[in-house]
Structure 1
Amino acid sequence: MRRLFLLGACLAATLLAAPLAAQERVLNVFNWNDYIDPYMVQRFTRETGIRVRYDVFDSLETLEGRLSAGRTGYDIVVPTSEPTFSRLARAGAFRPLDRALLPNLRNLDPALQAQVAASDPENRFGALYLWGTIGLGLNAERIRALAPDAPMDSLALLMDPQHARRIARCGITMMDSAIDVIPTVLHYLGKDPNSTDAGDLREVERALLAIRPFIRNFSTGGAIEALAGGQSCLAFGYSGDMIQAGLRAREANRGVAVQYVAPREGAQLWFDLLAIPADAPNPEAAHAFINFLLQPDVMAAITNHVRYPNGVPASRALVAPEVADDPAVFPPEALRARFFTIGPVPQAAERARSRVWARFKAGR
């Protein structure tokens, strides 16, 4: 959401209980936290005899750092199309997919694949897994009590200091990712989200520093628990994470209600891809896992669990009605028309953005 919750006791038990015969065949996965249905991992092991070792990350910076260092030992990684996937692909970090081993690639949505091709020409290195947007997770009741006139469907709820100042009393969580936040702020300011202009970046920095005093903490995966537990009433993060926070809040039954809002100004659209590192120790097992995941019933189970839409259209009929009919999970076309995607920016611009982010977090 793309998110640190380690898949739960179920997945751990699954991995420990893998049959002895499977010990010779191992798949090493590095995925976003809380980003798969653990029962599907259990099913994969049961059907193939391949044991799964599963590690998680909660930021693109963490993933890119590990892959750039090389010799990770991972067979499957799940980077976001921009900027991480495209940059790593250009650097030779991935093994080309062997389509002969992936008959279920035909299940992917051609229209979505065409969008992903902007980051992965000819869809050579990645298979579309899940997608979503970046927006606001909020506790509307608590926010209205503090700022009754604040716009609940706008990024101004966070980015306007007058609103953020009042909301700060009930807690604001910012996702800890310059890669995700800065393009959205550029778009909010009416700039190109891919801008490399120094003046545009200064405007972003001023806007972020203006709300810095009102941000309680920086967290990506941790925003789920902060919202669900009532420690925050507003978070900027991945759509599925915010939806999961709402589910956990309802399950806890402590009077906390959380909803996800894609800002009316337009939300950043992202795609997460299944990829095989160039030095993967078990590429055949990696292909088997990708092919397994791209089955409609498997992807439906994953969408039901994590509340992110997937790239397999035939899965939609198998998704639980309360998920399939939720516009926060499957946005209507009118809303999707306002979504935007980002492209790669030069390395010098990435360094400049990183410096802005460091100053923002430090508050100076």
Structure 2
Amino acid sequence: MTMHAPALRRLLLGAIAAFAVACMPAAPAAAQSQTVNVYNWNDYIDPEVLERFTRETGIAVRYDVFDSLETLEAKLLAGRSGYDIVVPTNEPSFSRLIAAGALQPLDRAKIPNWGNLDATLMQRLDASDQGNRHGVIYLWGTIGLGINAARIREVAPDAPLDSWDLLFKPEHASRIARCGIVMMDSQIDVLPTVLRYLGIDPNSTAEADLRRVEQTLMAIRPHIRTFSTGGAIELLATGQACLAFAYSGDAIQAADRAKEAGQGVEVRYVAPKEGAQLWFDVLAIPRDAPNRDNAHRLINFLLQPEVMAAITNEVHYPNAVPASKPGIDPDILADRNVYPAEEDFARFFTVRAVPQAAERARSRMWARFKAGR
């Protein structure tokens, strides 16, 4: 069986880390180990970047992945996660972890490449982390729809491809279900979008607004094939699904994999006209990280322009290091789904953490939605 490059790189990631660890001499018990333990989103790094870091520093990278903010928060809030770097999304997870004391302030003196960051984007992050004390932007993007337009046109020729109506109106979803609908498995990401779609403040905690969200979602529940976050990439790329509520980069990765496979599947990303959530994924260090110096070294390494360019070229998410742009594939830079134009930002919105009681109510509603009752 032929293995395409992205799949091969994902397999190599674990091998790289394992080999590096095996080659490291044992460290004294009192000192930090010659490793750095990373907890990142799935399909969200160029493995060659990690290999280069180990080669240049002698520090091995142990790399684990998650596919939802709920999973990340549960691990961090429980304490003693063993991770040195985590990658939460700015809202609500990053700000909530800061408030809980789960993250430590960064030592800028150990991150000289801090100056490479886009000041405007970091200012946007300030709303979640006053003074930018606890994290730096790794990658960013929007949340929208991954679509196989040809398949959708076959089953729902009149459905609007540029609107959330494509998913949230039952008359469209019922027909599109024949070629497969994937819902992101994260109420943290989905509910604010539904609120915005309904013309409600995405940060609303009103019970009446939550009921409207539940009614909207329950109306399409029979038409959802599966709940998955990172798994949407393969489902779209292989033609097993034609519509997915997805992160922008995941849909764009799916488009690339479909093209590489050469099976006639065409996928593209849409930031719907009613609005798309803008988010930032942040490099942060847990309060109880066992290898803090190594974590700072890896963050500083990642903020090099050529390193961030390699990551963006691999995963097709924009980064926050402007000097990386000369090293980024021109087709990626020209794609407004990856690097939105200034006027596109008028349609984007951001969210903030909601009070704990409201979060519990949202979680209960999400559980009912997934269960279909």
Gaps of 5+ in 1: none
- For 1:345 and 1:9, the matched residues in 2 are separated by 38
- Aligned counterpart in structure 2 of residue 30 of structure 1, from 14, 39, 44: 39
Contact 2:24–2:60 under 8 Å retained in 1 = no
| Residue 311 of structure 2 is aligned to residue 309 of structure 1 | no
| Residue 113 of structure 2 is aligned to residue 104 of structure 1 | yes
- Aligned counterpart in structure 2 of residue 49 of structure 1, from 58, 82, 86: 58
- Aligned counterpart in structure 1 of residue 15 of structure 2, from 7, 13, 32: 13
Partner of 1:214: 223
Contact 2:180–2:225 under 8 Å retained in 1 = yes
Partner of 1:144: 153
Residues 55-84 of structure 1 deviation map (CA, whole Å, 9 limit, x = unaligned): 000000000000011001100000000000
- For 1:23 and 1:251, the matched residues in 2 are separated by 42
Structure 1 segments (4+ residues) deviating >4 Å: none
Contact 1:23–1:50 under 8 Å retained in 2 = no
More off after superposition, 261-270 vs 20-29: 20-29
- For 1:23 and 1:38, the matched residues in 2 are separated by 24
Deviation at 1:289, TM superposition (A): 0.2
- For 2:239 and 2:26, the matched residues in 1 are separated by 43
- For 1:7 and 1:198, the matched residues in 2 are separated by 46
Deviation at 1:15, TM superposition (A): 1.7
- Aligned counterpart in structure 1 of residue 92 of structure 2, from 57, 78, 83: 83
- For 1:177 and 1:17, the matched residues in 2 are separated by 34
Partner of 2:48: 39
- For 2:367 and 2:306, the matched residues in 1 are separated by 43
Corresponding letter in the other structure for 1:9: L
Q: State the SS of the aligned residue for 2:347.
A: coil
Residues 174-226 of structure 1 deviation map (CA, whole Å, 9 limit, x = unaligned): 00000000000000000000000000000000000000010000000100011
- For 1:13 and 1:213, the matched residues in 2 are separated by 41
Deviation at 1:16, TM superposition (A): 2.9
Deviation at 1:317, TM superposition (A): 1.6
Corresponding letter in the other structure for 1:131: W
Partner of 2:138: 129
Deviation at 1:7, TM superposition (A): 5.9
Corresponding letter in the other structure for 1:125: H
- For 1:191 and 1:22, the matched residues in 2 are separated by 57
Q: State the SS of the aligned residue for 2:104.
A: coil
| Residue 296 of structure 2 is aligned to residue 293 of structure 1 | no
- Aligned counterpart in structure 2 of residue 337 of structure 1, from 346, 349, 362: 346
Partner of 2:4: none
| Residue 124 of structure 2 is aligned to residue 115 of structure 1 | yes
- For 2:343 and 2:333, the matched residues in 1 are separated by 17
Corresponding letter in the other structure for 1:334: E
Corresponding letter in the other structure for 2:19: A
Contact 2:200–2:209 under 8 Å retained in 1 = yes
Contact 1:22–1:49 under 8 Å retained in 2 = no
Q: Percent identity?
A: 67
Deviation at 1:102, TM superposition (A): 0.5
Corresponding letter in the other structure for 1:57: F
Corresponding letter in the other structure for 2:199: G
Q: State the SS of the aligned residue for 2:320.
A: coil
| Residue 182 of structure 2 is aligned to residue 169 of structure 1 | no
Across the two proteins, how many residue pairs are aligned to each other? 360
| Residue 293 of structure 2 is aligned to residue 275 of structure 1 | no
Partner of 2:254: 245
Q: State the SS of the aligned residue for 1:135.
A: strand
Corresponding letter in the other structure for 1:65: A
Contact 1:10–1:39 under 8 Å retained in 2 = no
Deviation at 1:20, TM superposition (A): 2.5
Q: State the SS of the aligned residue for 1:94.
A: coil
- For 1:21 and 1:179, the matched residues in 2 are separated by 39
- For 1:226 and 1:20, the matched residues in 2 are separated by 37
State the TM-score, normalized to the length of structure 2.
0.95
| Residue 258 of structure 2 is aligned to residue 256 of structure 1 | no
- For 1:111 and 1:225, the matched residues in 2 are separated by 34
Residues 117-138 of structure 1 deviation map (CA, whole Å, 9 limit, x = unaligned): 1001100000110000000000
Deviation at 1:22, TM superposition (A): 5.6
- For 1:86 and 1:52, the matched residues in 2 are separated by 26
Superposed CA RMSD in Å reads 1.2
Corresponding letter in the other structure for 1:14: I
